[in-house]
Amino acid sequence: MIDFLIIGGGIAGVSAAARLSALDSVTLLEREDGLAYHASGRSAALFEQNYGKPSTVALNTASRDFHFEANVLSDRGLMLVGRREQAEEFNRNRHDMQLEPITVEQAQAKWPILDESRITMAAFDPHAWDIDTDRLVQTFARMARENGSHIKTKSQVTAIRRIPQGWEVKTKADIYLARNIVNAAGAWGDLIAGMAGIKKIGFTPMRRSMARIPAPDGHDLRRWPMVVGPGEDWYSKPDAGALIVSPGEEQPMEPHDAYADDMVLAEGIARFSENVTIEVTRLLSSWAGLRTFAPDRTLVLGPDPADSTFIWCAGQGGYGMQSSPAASQLLADLISGRTPCISKSAVEELSPTRFA
């Protein structure tokens, strides 16, 4: 009998495996051929401590030391730019993310393709870092395996049944018996809950598309910041010698292996182009991922109020990578009865009991 059977091998599931394996036996089931295939492997992957709802910021803050100790962060910086007609949204975003105003000239020095004839406002935070997502996932996977956990890929769950001792979970090849289920299935979170006879949360998977475009001629992108437009209706970030540009869309979708929408990408690149002096003439590649949100856009972490052996680790939205160290630690703290690493009010905001 397994103590914790984790369903889902993205950053939520693999970080939960690392933490819970320090308490009892863990087996993780991932439907794909490898870990972090869907949303986790397609993230823009920036650690910005003040990004998200207050409870998310609390998790981000509590995760910072782990990220540095795991050596998964590298300097990037975050810059917000806007035009005169975007002043209201620009100021709201700047306040929410606690960015410091800078001059347009200073912004252009950090991001040489900025169009000074159109941009009238800029703000910057040097305390934002790229996350090495593969290294982070593998760090958690190594922690889990060192504690004796089993990680099973190509293991799609096909049925879940409540039994007196806990749960019976079937895949195409195997049957697992577990005292507790951890639902870390991302976009498939409500599907897993339905299989288990647990009330669904009402998650909405949202598509986010990305394009990689060639580096502008003659520019070294390595020290460029991530740049965001007001309302996050586009953003750009250096990536492996090229630029990622995203339209920042949130298109509700059914759970599936997402792919980019060409029209949405074109609209996002057009918005990006309104702020820069370069012309985008071709794409190197494109992709999309699903960012899954609870109705209140806050993570769902902890035992289900109707059945404490069904544990939620879901609704990460766009915050999964940066919040994962503290989110997974919170699960372990709640289950073991330890004092959580974040405030009582933040724990309550994250609890599944809010949907009871």
Residue ranges for the chain with pLDDT beneath 70: 38-43
List C-alpha distances in Å: 130 to 2, 84, 127, 219: 36, 29, 10, 20
Same domain, 185 and 305: yes
Q: Look at residue 219 in the predicted model and tell me its pLDDT.
A: 87
Same domain, 142 and 198: yes
- Reduced to 3 states (helix: H, G, I; strand: E, B; else coil), residue 95 is helix
**Total structural domains within the chain:** 2
- Give CA–CA dist 219/105, Å, rounded: 18
- Reduced to 3 states (helix: H, G, I; strand: E, B; else coil), residue 1 is coil
- Axis crossing angle, helix 133-146 with helix 320-336, rounded to the nearest 10: 20
Token pair 């870092």 is found at 129
Q: Look at residue 36 in the predicted model and tell me its pLDDT.
A: 84
DSSP state at residue 170: E
Q: Look at residue 341 in the predicted model and tell me its pLDDT.
A: 87
Residue-wise DSSP of 19-81:
HHTTTS-EEEE-SSSSTT-SSGGG---EEETT-SSHHHHHHHHHHHHHHHHTT-EEE--EEEE
Same domain, 182 and 136: yes
Same domain, 110 and 170: no
Which structure tokens are listed for 118?
A: 């159109």
Nearest to 111, CA basis, from 300, 277, 317, 329: 277
Number of neighbouring beta carbons within 10 Å of residue 153: 15
- Structural domain ending residue among the three candidates 293, 322, 346: 293
Same domain, 211 and 282: yes
DSSP state at residue 353: G
Q: Please check whether residue 68 lies inside any domain of the structure.
A: no
- Is residue 238 within 8 Å of residue 203, measured between CB atoms? no
Same domain, 143 and 288: no
Q: Look at residue 37 in the predicted model and tell me its pLDDT.
A: 73
CATH number at residue 246: 3.30.9.10
Same domain, 42 and 152: yes
- Structural domain ending residue among the three candidates 271, 293, 315: 293
Q: What is the span of the domain harbouring residue 241?
A: 78-126+204-293
Which structure tokens are listed for 285?
A: 């590649």
- Is residue 111 within 8 Å of residue 103, measured between CB atoms? no
Q: Please check whether residue 65 lies inside any domain of the structure.
A: no
- Structural domain ending residue among the three candidates 293, 315, 342: 293
Token pair 């439907």 is found at 31
Same domain, 216 and 274: yes
Same domain, 209 and 274: yes
Same domain, 164 and 279: no
CATH number at residue 325: 3.50.50.60
Same domain, 54 and 160: yes
**Helix (H) / strand (E) containing 183:** strand 175-183
Q: Please check whether residue 266 lies inside any domain of the structure.
A: yes
